[in-house]
Structure formats: C-alpha cells, structure tokens
Amino acid sequence: MRGRGIVKLLAGAAGLMGLAACASVVGSTSSEVQIRTNPDKARCDLKGYDGFSASVETPAIVSVPTAAAPVTVTCQAPGFRPTSYTLDATADGWIWGNSALFVATGGIAVLGALVDESRAAGKSYAEDVHYDLAPDRPRAIRARSRNGDVDLNLQAR
C-alpha cells in the first residue's frame, strides 16, 4: 500500500512538471500579424532578433516569431516619408499557467518557465496593426544671415 502511494505521488509530480511548460506545450512560438497602412500598397520591411526579416506589400499577413521581438517595421510608399514602428510581443494567458504551477509546486515548476522563456513561448503580437504614413511634402525653411541683409528660402524634405 505504501509503495502505491509513492508511485501515485511521483506520477502526480511528473504530471505537474509536464504541465509546467504549458506555454510551450499549448501555445505557439509565432504569431500571425495583419499589417495595414494608410495608404495601401506600402512596402514594409520587418527586421528582428535571431536574423528574422520579411518584406511585404500592405495589406498583408505575416508570421512573426515571438523570439524576434522587438521587430522594427519600416514602411514606405511613393509620395510618403519612410516611417518606422516597433512591433513588440507581450505576455499572453499561458504565461500565467507557469506562475500558478510555480506557486502550486513550491518552485519545482521553474524548469517549465525556463523552457517557455528560452522558446519565447507565452508571448504574442497584436493580431492587427495599422500604420499611418506621413505625406512627403516639401517644407519651407527661411534662413537669414546674422546681420539680416541676406534672406534664403529653402525647401526641405
């Protein structure tokens, strides 16, 4: 009878440890992100950690690994200034499973949290992002010499 109790205890502990990396087991290590711009048909280049890069024409859906966060998104279109944005992954609900198991097991489930962190599991990007590009209009710049006798009118982009 006593041997069965130990076996059940060990089986329960093994089950809890198996669930400890719940974000890795249940979650994903990438997210599908829809990128939209104003105007449409902008060319967006994405660059992130671990050598991640992608180039899309908007609107587009791109699979972005969570380990690549933060991802720099640079968009450009004719008649608009190139504009850069940051796409960052945030913790999703599965990461809280590790916290609960960590507390419930008295810290034994720390291995699961380490596995999830190393795989960047338990994080996700926004499903839909929208970026506005600024028109590329020349702006007047007026320059005057220190003594005030020469006036320059320049156009800046």
Domain ranges of the chain: 1-27+92-119, 28-90+127-157
Under CATH, which number does the domain 28-90+127-157 receive? 2.60.40
CA distance 28 to 117: 12
Q: What is the Cα gyration radius of the chain?
A: 26
Q: Which has the higher per-residue pLDDT, 59 or 18? A: 59
Residue type for position 54: A
Given strand 60-65, what is the order of strands in its sheet? 60-65, 30-38, 128-132
Alpha helices in 43-135 (DSSP H): 94-104, 110-119
pLDDT digits (tens, 9 = 90+) for 16-50: 444 444 444 445 678 899 999 999 999 999 999 88
pLDDT digits (tens, 9 = 90+) for 126-147: 889 999 999 988 777 777 777 7
Does the global pTM surpass 0.85? no
Range with top average pLDDT, 32-41, 100-109, 117-126: 32-41
Contact between 24 and 115 under an 8 Å Cβ cutoff? The reply is yes
Contact between 97 and 133 under an 8 Å Cβ cutoff? The reply is no
Task: With CA atoms as reference, report the closest residue to 124 among 7, 9, 23, 12.
Answer: 23
Predicted local distance difference test score (pLDDT) of residue 90: 79
Q: Indicate the pairing of strand 43-47 with strand 53-57.
A: antiparallel
